[in-house]
């Protein structure tokens, strides 16, 4: 593992959070990947209000194809960890009648969805996500 160089990585290491998102500072698997203190409930309320405002704007413009897509990180799919802030946001908007496509479904642990040394999706993962989104858009028509 490369040494922590970014301020956020150094802060995470000092606080006991590992720079490997699926492991705690002691190397044990963990159930969430972000320090919950960095994502307070107030931010969830702002995100939910923003999502509702986007839906209202789309409706005023006559758009019927607005949806929220939850794109999971590679470690969320392979290790089954969950981002608490994402779960809070989904809970906050679940009764709003908004279309939400949650793609956080576990896959085979040996299937890597990210680029080497980069947490962005690799081409196969991007194709998978795009196919899921396209299928939902077809259903919405």
Per-residue pLDDT reduced to its tens digit, 42-82 = 899 999 999 999 989 988 988 767 889 999 888 777 777 77
What's the pLDDT at 4? 38
Q: What is the pLDDT of residue 72?
A: 86
Using alpha carbons only, give the angle 57, 61, 63 rounded to the nearest 5 degrees: 95
Q: In this structure, are residues 39 and 45 in contact, taking their beta carbons and an 8 Å threshold?
A: no
Q: Is residue 80 within 8 Å of residue 39, measured between CB atoms?
A: no
Please name every residue paired with 101 in a beta bridge, in sequence order, or none if there are none.
69
Please state the φ and ψ torsions of residue 70, each to the nearest 5 degrees.
-95, 105
| Type and span of the H or E element at 42 | helix 41-60
Threshold 0.85, pTM exceeds:
no
Write phi, then psi, for 136 (nearest 5 degrees).
Answer: -65, -40
Give me the residue spans of the domains in the chain: 30-140
Residues of the chain with confidence (pLDDT) below 50: 1-13, 16-19
């Amino acid at each position: 593992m490369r040494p922590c160089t970014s301020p956020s990585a150094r802060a995470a290491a000092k606080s006991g959070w590992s720079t490997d998102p699926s492991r705690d500072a002691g190397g044990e698997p963990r159930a969430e990947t972000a320090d919950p203190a960095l994502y307070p409930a107030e931010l969830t309320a702002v995100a939910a209000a923003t999502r509702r405002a986007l839906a209202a704007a789309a409706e005023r413009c006559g758009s019927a194809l607005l949806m929220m897509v939850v794109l999971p990180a590679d470690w969320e799919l392979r290790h089954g960890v969950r981002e608490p802030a994402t779960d809070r946001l989904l809970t906050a908007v679940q009764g709003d009648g908004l279309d939400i496509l949650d793609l956080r479904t576990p896959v085979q642990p040996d299937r890597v969805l990210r680029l080497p040394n980069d947490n962005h999706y690799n081409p196969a993962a991007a194709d998978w996500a795009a196919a899921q989104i396209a299928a939902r858009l077809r259903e919405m028509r």
